[in-house]
Chain A
Amino acid sequence: DQQVKQNSPSLSVQEGRISILNCDYTNSMFDYFLWYKKYPAEGPTFLISISSIKDKNEDGRFTVFLNKSAKHLSLHIVPSQPGDSAVYFCAPQGNNQGGKLIFGQGTELSVKP
């Protein structure tokens, strides 16, 4: 039973355009949502997060949107740059779960120059 789904295994975008990565979840106990970025042979690195009391959080070129009723969140990157090419993971946390993250399968983003 997958609690977190990233249905697009890969995404290819032209440099300068917008990248949109999607994530769906089933567990209504999740109340904090993180995005991690992973380069080959490295561990995931924290990118941006959003609390369930918000519907949008922006940090520079990165914006995360949360639609709680649809149990859906998305990460927007604009403008996309070749250095953004990596695997992106959606990782929600639940209250009283000790910070444990449940990861989606990941979406591999490729930004073409």
Chain B
Amino acid sequence: GAGVSQTPSNKVTEKGKYVELRCDPISGHTALYWYRQSLGQGPEFLIYFQGTGAADDSGLPNDRFFAVRPEGSVSTLKIQRTERGDSAVYLCASSLGQGYSPLHFGNGTRLTVT
């Protein structure tokens, strides 16, 4: 079946601009996660949704970052006033959200802020 889909795969934007990154999870997965991976590092947790609500947003670095999942399926990560330090690969994952279900990751969106 279809895996987690992330669009766009690459995004180049200028410092100060607004960007939206989209994640389409596996059908039937209730839990959705956003991670950010910088070069040479492991993925860093940003936010997690159970259904439509953000159950844990403790990883969002500041108030320029915001994510929504209005219908409990597709999610959008929004970054305002982008900075060069926001450049990274943004990974989305979904899971069944029951017990210790493995997370299934998309291929990520590579964001470059110039």
Contact = CB atoms under 8 A, between A and B. Distances in A.
Interface of A: 4, 6, 9, 32, 34, 36, 41-46, 49, 51, 89, 91, 93, 97-106
A44 B31 contact: no
Contacts of B105: 36, 43-45
Interface size class of B (residues with CB under 8 A): 20 to 34
A103 B44 contact: yes
A89 B103 contact: no
Nearest to A106: B42
Given A34-B102, A98-B48, A103-B42, A43 B4 contact: yes
Interface of B: 4, 31, 33, 35, 40-45, 48, 50, 55-56, 91, 93, 95, 97, 100-108
A45 B40 CA distance: 17
Contact of A99 (B42, B100, B106): B100
Contact of A100 (B56, B104, B106, B107): B56
Contacts of A45: 105
Given A4-B42, A46-B102, 12 more contacts: A6-B42, A32-B100, A34-B102, A41-B107, A43-B107, A44-B91, A49-B100, A91-B42, A98-B97, A99-B97, A100-B48, A105-B42
A89 B43 contact: yes
A93 B91 CA distance: 18
A105 B100 contact: no
27 contacts: A6-B42, A9-B40, A32-B100, A34-B102, A42-B107, A43-B4, A43-B105, A43-B106, A43-B107, A43-B108, A44-B43, A45-B105, A46-B103, A46-B104, A91-B42, A97-B56, A98-B56, A98-B97, A99-B31, A99-B33, A99-B101, A100-B48, A101-B33, A101-B43, A103-B35, A103-B43, A106-B42
Contacts of A104: 42
A100 B16 CA distance: 30
